[in-house]
Amino acid sequence: MKICPKCHSEYVDSLNYCQKCGTPLIDKAAADPAWSNTETSSAEPVILKKKLSLAKKMLLAVLGLTLVLVIVYDYLGSLTSYLRVETTQLVATKTGGEISVGVDCDGLFWTVAECPEWLSTSHGEGKIHISAGANATGKMRKGQIVLESGKHQAAIAVVQTGVASYLQPQQQQLHFPRKGGRLTLKVNTDGGEWQVQYPSYLKANKVDENTLDLSVEENRGTVHEDYLLLTEDNVRAVVKVSQGGICKSCQGKGQMVCPFCSGVSSGYFVCYRCGGTGILRCSACRGAGIID
């Protein structure tokens, strides 16, 4: 069988030309694969071309939108004539914290262009809020925050200490009654990781970086007189602590041997302090034997 390559009409092998269009005939067996390949190869480029055309259009649209946004951003930024901050230097303590700094700008907006990784920022209502975490490096950290609006910039230098520089208890002396009780010690410091050493009869609980709770049970022995030792890095503080109990001077008797005559009275001499009795009232407990 033969076939017309133009109109695809089929003829017997004895004919050489198409009776419809006059096109020379070719063998059908040789024509089928060729026509099949021709159809496939002609369809795929069309689809691929359409896909490439769509991707190109989308890319151009994205580039165009980006360009427009850049132009608008630059234009809005060009409206700024000044950008100022309330302070240009900040010092953060070892434990960190948060502070707000006022920002004065006549532009439509301002952004944070630069910020150290150990700081975090947020802003709103003409202020920038700066937060610093605890500095556990043991060294001072330095950095700066840069604000930007158009071609104007404003910088805030930030320093964070790595060690405590002072440790100041609000009370230098604490006294507990003999029956026991609870007291709170407030501590002013630019650190916060301070440690405390205390006598065994005390119970101490560090509530936070500025507060220490202390408690004692009833004291059935002699008066307690000891110290609290607070330390952090290279600074320390001492607080005197005491608790009422049995008088150490008279051991609870309320009286003591007269120190002037040593408790011995002579017939030729009568001690003017003890009147010859050789005994005086204990001055430490005033004769009570107990100091509360």
DSSP characters over 264-276: ---SS---TTTTT
Residue finishing a domain among 43, 59, 77: 77
Dist. CA 282–CA 286, nearest whole Å: 5
Enter the tokens of residue 160: 């964070």
- Give the domain range for residue 276: 252-292
Of 247, 280, 283, the C-alpha closest to 262 is: 280
If asked whether residues 150 and 196 sit together in one domain, one would say: no
Residue finishing a domain among 131, 160, 189: 160
Q: Which residues pair with 227 in a beta bridge?
A: 240
Report residue 206: phi and psi, to 5°: -80, 110
Using an 8 Å Cβ cutoff, are 195 and 233 in contact?
no
Residue finishing a domain among 103, 135, 160: 160
Residue 146: which residues within 8 A CB-CB, separation 6 or more?
A: 112, 113, 114, 115, 153, 154, 155
Work out whether the CA dihedral 102, 105, 106, 108 comes out positive or negative. Answer: negative
The burial class, CB within 10 Å (0-12 / 13-18 / 19+), for 239 is buried
Q: How many helices (H) and strands (E) does the chain have?
A: 1, 23
If asked whether residues 186 and 211 sit together in one domain, one would say: yes
Report residue 150: phi and psi, to 5°: 65, -125
Q: Which residues pair with 84 in a beta bridge?
A: 104
If asked whether residues 19 and 71 sit together in one domain, one would say: yes
Written as tens digits, the pLDDT of the chain (292 aa) is 777 877 877 777 777 777 777 777 787 766 655 444 444 444 455 566 666 677 777 877 787 778 766 665 565 556 688 999 999 999 999 999 999 999 999 888 899 999 999 999 998 889 999 999 999 898 999 999 999 998 899 999 999 999 999 999 999 999 999 999 999 999 999 988 999 999 999 999 999 999 999 999 999 999 999 999 999 999 999 999 999 999 999 999 999 888 888 877 665 678 878 888 888 999 899 999 999 8
If asked whether residues 97 and 66 sit together in one domain, one would say: no
- Counting the structural domains of the chain, the total is 4
